C-alpha cells in the first residue's frame, strides 16, 4: 500500500511496486545527469549545471533509499539524514558557484537552456507522477518525494530563466534562478534533516506537540 494506513504508522517503502518505481526514477535521474551537465557547460548556464548536479545527487540518494528499505527504522532515518546533509552541501555549492559567476558573468545560450530544461521538466514530471501516491511515509520515503517535487519546480524555473535570458539579452535571469534553486535545495535539506532527527529521537516530526 502506498499511503500510511493508520495515523501512527508511516509507509516504510516495503512494497514491490514502490521498489520498481524507485528503480525507474533512479534510471531517469542518471540519464538526465549525463545529458544535462554537458549541455550546461556548452550553454554556459549555471541553472542547467545546478539542475544536472541535482539529478546526480538524486541518483545516489534514491539508490541509498532503495538500499535501506526494510531495514531498521533507525537505519532508514540515518540514511535520510545523510541525504539531507548531502542536499544541504549541494545547495551551498550551487549558491557559491552562482555568487562566483556574478563576477564572471557570461550570457548563457537561451535555446540550449530552454530545450534541455524542457526535457528535464518532462523527466521530473514523470518521476513525480510515479511517486505521488508514495509521498507520505517515513523520512526515507518522504525525502524521495520532496527531492522529486523540488526538481520539477526547479525545471519550471529553468524554463523561466531561459525566457528571461532570451528577452533581456543578459545572463542575470540564469543566475537568479540558480540562486533560487540553491535556496530550494537548502530548504528541502532542512525539512529532511528535521524529520530524520525527529524519527531518530522517537518523535513524530509532523506533530506540533509531543505525543506523550
For residue 98, the domain's CATH number is: 1.20.1510
Which tops the pLDDT comparison, 151 or 1? 151
Is 78 part of a structural domain of the chain? yes
* Separation between Cα atoms, residue 143 and residue 131, nearest integer Å: 11
Cβ proximity of 181 and 52 under 8 Å: no
Q: What integer pLDDT is reported at residue 31 of this predicted model?
A: 94
Q: Which three cell numbers stand for residue 54?
A: 541535482
Q: Which residues of 57-91 are buried (b: 16+ CB within 10 A; e: fewer)?
A: bbbebbebbbebbeeebeebbbbbbbbbebbbebb
Q: How far is CA 38 from CA 52, 191, 201, in A?
A: 9, 30, 42
Is 8 part of a structural domain of the chain? no
Q: What integer pLDDT is reported at residue 1 of this predicted model?
A: 36
Q: Is the pLDDT of residue 204 over 80?
A: no
Q: What is the mean pLDDT of residues 148-164?
A: 79
Is 211 part of a structural domain of the chain? no
* Separation between Cα atoms, residue 87 and residue 169, nearest integer Å: 32
Is 195 part of a structural domain of the chain? yes
The residues, any chain, with a CB within 8 Å of residue 212's CB and separated by 6 or more, are none
Share of the chain above pLDDT 70, in %: 85
What's the half-sphere exposure (Cβ side, CA atoms, 13 Å) at 69? 23
Is 210 part of a structural domain of the chain? no
Q: Which three cell numbers stand for residue 33?
A: 545527469
* Separation between Cα atoms, residue 47 and residue 159, nearest integer Å: 10
Q: What integer pLDDT is reported at residue 106 of this predicted model?
A: 65
For 189, the domain range is 16-200
Is 2 part of a structural domain of the chain? no
Q: What is the pLDDT of residues 78-128, one digit of tens each?
A: 887 887 888 788 778 777 777 766 666 566 777 887 888 889 889 988 988
Which tops the pLDDT comparison, 102 or 195? 195
Which tops the pLDDT comparison, 205 or 121? 121
Cβ proximity of 99 and 182 under 8 Å: no
Is 6 part of a structural domain of the chain? no
Q: What is the mean pLDDT of residues 188-205?
A: 76
Q: Is the pLDDT of residue 33 over 90?
A: yes
Q: What integer pLDDT is reported at residue 107 of this predicted model?
A: 66
SS3 165: helix
Domain count, the chain: 1
Q: What integer pLDDT is reported at residue 187 of this predicted model?
A: 84
Q: What is the mean pLDDT of residues 177-185?
A: 79
Is 91 part of a structural domain of the chain? yes
Amino acid at each position: 500500500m502506498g499511503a500510511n494506513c493508520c495515523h501512527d504508522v508511516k509507509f516504510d517503502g516495503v512494497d514491490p511496486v514502490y521498489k520498481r518505481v524507485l528503480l525507474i526514477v533512479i534510471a531517469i535521474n542518471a540519464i538526465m545527469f549525463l545529458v544535462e551537465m554537458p549541455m550546461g557547460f556548452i550553454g554556459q548556464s549555471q541553472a542547467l549545471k545546478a539542475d544536472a548536479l541535482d539529478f546526480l545527487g538524486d541518483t545516489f540518494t534514491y539508490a541509498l533509499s532503495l538500499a535501506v528499505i526494510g531495514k531498521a527504522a533507525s537505519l532508514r532515518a540515518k540514511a535520510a539524514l545523510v541525504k539531507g546533509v548531502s542536499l544541504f552541501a549541494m545547495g551551498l555549492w550551487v549558491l557559491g558557484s552562482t555568487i562566483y559567476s556574478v563576477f564572471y558573468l557570461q550570457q548563457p545560450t537561451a535555446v540550449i537552456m530552454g530545450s534541455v530544461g524542457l526535457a528535464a521538466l518532462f523527466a521530473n514530471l514523470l518521476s513525480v507522477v510515479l511517486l505521488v501516491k508514495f509521498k507520505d511515509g517515513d523520512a526515507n520515503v518522504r525525502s524521495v518525494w520532496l527531492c522529486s517535487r523540488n526538481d520539477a519546480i526547479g525545471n519550471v524555473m529553468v524554463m523561466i530563466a531561459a525566457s528571461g535570458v532570451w528577452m533581456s539579452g543578459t545572463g542575470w535571469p540564469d543566475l537568479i534562478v540558480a540562486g533560487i534553486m540553491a535556496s530550494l535545495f537548502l530548504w528541502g535539506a532542512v525539512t529532511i534533516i528535521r524529520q530524520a532527527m525527529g524519527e531518530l529521537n522517537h518523535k513524530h516530526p509532523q506533530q506540533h506537540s509531543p505525543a506523550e
